[in-house]
Structure 1
């Protein structure tokens, strides 16, 4: 397995996020990736690579140009408002909700930040654009490595990317995510000549961005196991009746599960998701690998244990598909590396 590592991820280091009306320290911290990298060095699953820089044209395969232009210049605009802003992160404060227009692009920075976001828990920092772009490069390079593999060569790769991506839509950020790494990997696989690619999202939180990007497409099946959005973030997407629309009708599959779900029940649902991938006839699989399903995760509610992640990897391997793993959530920082590498080792047998 080839592992593509984001060497500049630490440039995105949020100070605070908004939670229930209070500014609290960010849960999404650089140590998350560092612990995975340290565990990979202790238990190697393959070769470690630094990807080449990604182009704007490659990002535009998923994201709108006006959104990318905003991300690229947002920090400079934020500091230009007041030099003192260099010492604090930018958080949105106003949003165009129901009946508001979304086609306009106001001159006001706060208005544009709200236009391109959906929560106040995702701080934009001086290094966010650089880190997110390098993380996207990991995903694209991992997908290219899988697409160019043969039966005699590795056809599996891991994008050790940060910040995570599955909450980011074509033109919005949130949930700690700015660029949708999984969607970029999927599109790269399709652009390589494949015709049917599946996404398996096992993060505790529903990948609303990934769903929205592919919701009207029949060449991508999106399957997600996650906490029930009636009680769990992101609340407004991830319900079982969301099945796709237009040409994509029937190609989106959500499995919302109650808080407290333990591994035996979770594993049964995983098998149902993998069976759907098989029926779809996927030629490759992209796994949004969140390990915030862990029993000790501070912002999640499932009860998987460290040893269970070996079996998660084994189950995914049973699909027998070329596979790209994308690092997503997991906020029990001390355990995140062990849990991620357990999945990869289980997958590799």
Structure 2
């Protein structure tokens, strides 16, 4: 399996975020790349650099207003007297259907869902290359590869069409799915991250050509809190094309695999031409977030079950944070997919 990654993705280096109201070091660190590359290589994968695809694949799922914000907000923020070193919002609108603020502070609140997606001088470039890795992986399977892995960092599944959040700026899984739609009439996205893929759900919530499924820790007491509940089924043309499978905290291999069976059955009913797997390795029992308890062998079994569905597969890296087994978990999953 080919792996796509650009060194520019490592330049985004966020320094902090707020967790339960307390400032803490940001866990979405560049070192994640080193662990994941080692894991991909151990699975026998060749590491390849993606092409620069420009804004076209990104603009296919994000609004021009939002992309202009992402591209320019850091420089604008630095002109504010005594501004923080990174762009972090301090105000959010109660509703987003009114006027659009002109100020950098107001736009940061409008386009950033929380305080865990700080924007620095390097963020825009890193996020674009991350999206281009996902685009290149989609191109690879469209050209005949049975599967391809996009080592996307920063991750993307919490990014909506016009909102960043949860360490995410550009929705790489959505970019890959939309790219696949060039040759696939229907695409399924299966998100196995610890956290609900709320941005991905939001982007496709009203569409019937992309099925979105997420297996994740129950958001009733876990990020992202406001999305990911089982009654969220889609809307308008997309009603019935979204499935959430929330799990109780500390659910292990058996419970996760049972949910995966339900997800794969729904994918079978949709009969897609291609599959995007939003791969979060943070469901691991030793991940710093500690929400679920999937083992390293469990990731191999997850990969093996997904492999039983014979269709082109783009695997897009989402979460999975620094722990000794991070690379091993990727190796196990990629080995299972084959």
TM-score by length of 2: 0.97
Whole-angstrom CA distance in 1 between matches of 2:2 and 2:96? 44
1:267 equivalenced with 2:257 (yes/no)? yes
User: In 2, are the aligned partners of 1:45 and 1:344 still within 8 Å (CA)?
Assistant: no
User: In 1, are the aligned partners of 2:172 and 2:316 still within 8 Å (CA)?
Assistant: yes
Distance apart, 1:265 and its partner CA: 1.3
Change (3 A) 1:254 1:72: same
Matching residue within 79, 84, 88 for 2:85: 88
Name the counterpart of 1:167: 158
Whole-angstrom CA distance in 2 between matches of 1:331 and 1:230? 22
Whole-angstrom CA distance in 1 between matches of 2:88 and 2:143? 40
1:131 equivalenced with 2:109 (yes/no)? no
Whole-angstrom CA distance in 2 between matches of 1:225 and 1:2? 25
1:244-286 superposed Cα distances (whole Å, 9 cap, x missing partner): 1111111000001100101111101101101111111011100
Whole-angstrom CA distance in 1 between matches of 2:315 and 2:15? 28
Please list, as runs of the form range in 1=range in 2, the aligned pairs for 1:253-332 lying within 5 A after superposition. Answer: 253-332=243-322
User: In 2, are the aligned partners of 1:166 and 1:181 still within 8 Å (CA)?
Assistant: yes
Distance apart, 1:44 and its partner CA: 4.1
Whole-angstrom CA distance in 2 between matches of 1:211 and 1:300? 23
Whole-angstrom CA distance in 2 between matches of 1:314 and 1:21? 40
Whole-angstrom CA distance in 2 between matches of 1:103 and 1:135? 32
Name the counterpart of 1:233: 223
Please list, as runs of the form range in 1=range in 2, the aligned pairs for 1:72-111 lying within 5 A after superposition. Answer: 72-82=71-81, 85=83, 88-97=85-94, 100-111=95-106
Distance apart, 1:302 and its partner CA: 0.8
Whole-angstrom CA distance in 1 between matches of 2:181 and 2:253? 33
Whole-angstrom CA distance in 2 between matches of 1:281 and 1:39? 31
User: In 2, are the aligned partners of 1:102 and 1:115 still within 8 Å (CA)?
Assistant: no
Name the counterpart of 2:50: 51
Distance apart, 1:90 and its partner CA: 1.6
Whole-angstrom CA distance in 2 between matches of 1:140 and 1:200? 17
Whole-angstrom CA distance in 2 between matches of 1:220 and 1:129? 27
Whole-angstrom CA distance in 1 between matches of 2:236 and 2:177? 20
Matching residue within 177, 184, 187 for 1:186: 177
User: In 2, are the aligned partners of 1:199 and 1:220 still within 8 Å (CA)?
Assistant: yes
Q: CA RMSD, aligned part only?
A: 1.3
Name the counterpart of 2:109: 114
Change (3 A) 1:200 1:101: closer
Distance apart, 1:234 and its partner CA: 0.2
Distance apart, 1:298 and its partner CA: 1.5
Whole-angstrom CA distance in 2 between matches of 1:333 and 1:95? 33
**Local SS of the residue matching 1:334:** coil
Distance apart, 1:104 and its partner CA: 2.5
User: In 1, are the aligned partners of 2:40 and 2:334 still within 8 Å (CA)?
Assistant: no
TM-score by length of 1: 0.94
Distance apart, 1:34 and its partner CA: 1.2
User: In 2, are the aligned partners of 1:284 and 1:322 still within 8 Å (CA)?
Assistant: yes
1:102-153 superposed Cα distances (whole Å, 9 cap, x missing partner): 442212111000000111121111100000000000001100111111xxxx
1:71 equivalenced with 2:62 (yes/no)? no
Distance apart, 1:333 and its partner CA: 3.2
Name the counterpart of 2:194: 204
Whole-angstrom CA distance in 1 between matches of 2:96 and 2:32? 38
Tell me how many residue pairs correspond in the alignment: 338
Distance apart, 1:81 and its partner CA: 1.6
User: In 2, are the aligned partners of 1:15 and 1:88 still within 8 Å (CA)?
Assistant: no
